[in-house]
Amino acid sequence: MASTDVPGESSSGSKPPPARNFQVLEAVLHASIYDDHKDQLIERLKGMTDPFSSSFEEHEMVFALKSNEGPDVQLRLRRRFNLDLWHVRYVGTPIADKCPAVCRASIDSVMYTKDMMDFVKHMGFRLIYEFVMKGWVFTRGPIKILVYKLCTTDKPGIYSKELIKPFGTSHIVEASIPVENEDTMKYSKLLKDFTDQLMPLVEFRKVEYFRPRTGQFAKSS
């Protein structure tokens, strides 16, 4: 049986808002760095962020619900290994604006269940993909920075350590900040100003993953 009553927090620092304010706006920027240079970035972040930092290792599954009006609804479930407590996250369609960061709505909650797959399937969702994240979380005031390696399992549904293998040759870097009073431009600029200080190690970009690819790029892909 599943319960989604009480908000909680995953080890990667995703802190759901209070129940009275279940939906929030956030600004997000992404970057990547080769594995060989990851340690330099970690040391730089330790000198620029709050004293608290933490490592994490989590399993994430992404589900979709078919929609006849607009894009499919996506639901993300994340947990620490071998625990039945899931961080449930809905990420809305990004706002199309001229801000220097992607701005989108999100809803967070917590679900405790021993039969998570059955629970989600009964809601009509289907699994799209899954992965394992291994990395570090840093904070600078309201800004959260994740540096993590994506991993996959050789056998879907089985997550023993000997089957989990790193994917690619880079670490993903993600920076985000909550947006207050719907002032997306103000908080996007705050986030961009902070991430620009990490150049030339990493260059954060507004990745408009929600837009269809057009023109020459689409033809060559």
Listed residue (149, 138, 148) closest to 176, CA to CA: 138
Alpha carbon distance 40, 137 (integer Å): 15
Q: Identify whether 5 is part of a domain.
A: no
Mean pLDDT for the stretch of residues 16-26: 63
Res. 210 pLDDT band, cuts 50 70 90 = low
Q: Identify whether 9 is part of a domain.
A: no
Instruction: Verify cis geometry, omega within 30 degrees of 0, for the bond prior to 200.
Output: yes
Q: What angle do CA 143, 132, 198 make, to 5 degrees?
A: 35
Q: Which CATH number does the domain housing residue 125 bear?
A: 2.40.320.10
Q: Identify whether 206 is part of a domain.
A: no
How many domains does the structure of the chain reveal?
A: 1
- The count of other CB atoms within 10 Å of the CB of residue 192 is 18
What is the full DSSP assignment across 149-177?
EEEEESSTT---GGGEEE-SSEEEEEEEE
Q: Which long-range contacts (CB under 8 A, 24 or more apart) does 151-158 make?
A: 156/130
Q: Identify whether 212 is part of a domain.
A: no
pLDDT tens digits for range 141-193: 999 999 999 999 888 777 778 888 999 999 999 999 999 988 999 999 999 99
Q: Identify whether 171 is part of a domain.
A: yes
Contacts of 1 (CB under 8 A, 6+ apart): 113
Q: Identify whether 15 is part of a domain.
A: no
CB 23 within 8 A of CB 7: no
Q: Identify whether 133 is part of a domain.
A: yes
The answer to which of 18-22, 42-46, 80-84 has the lowest mean pLDDT is 18-22
Give me the pLDDT at residue 18, please. Answer: 46
Q: Identify whether 12 is part of a domain.
A: no
Radius of gyration of the chain (CA): 18
Which residues form the domain of 60?
23-197
pTM for the model stands at 0.80
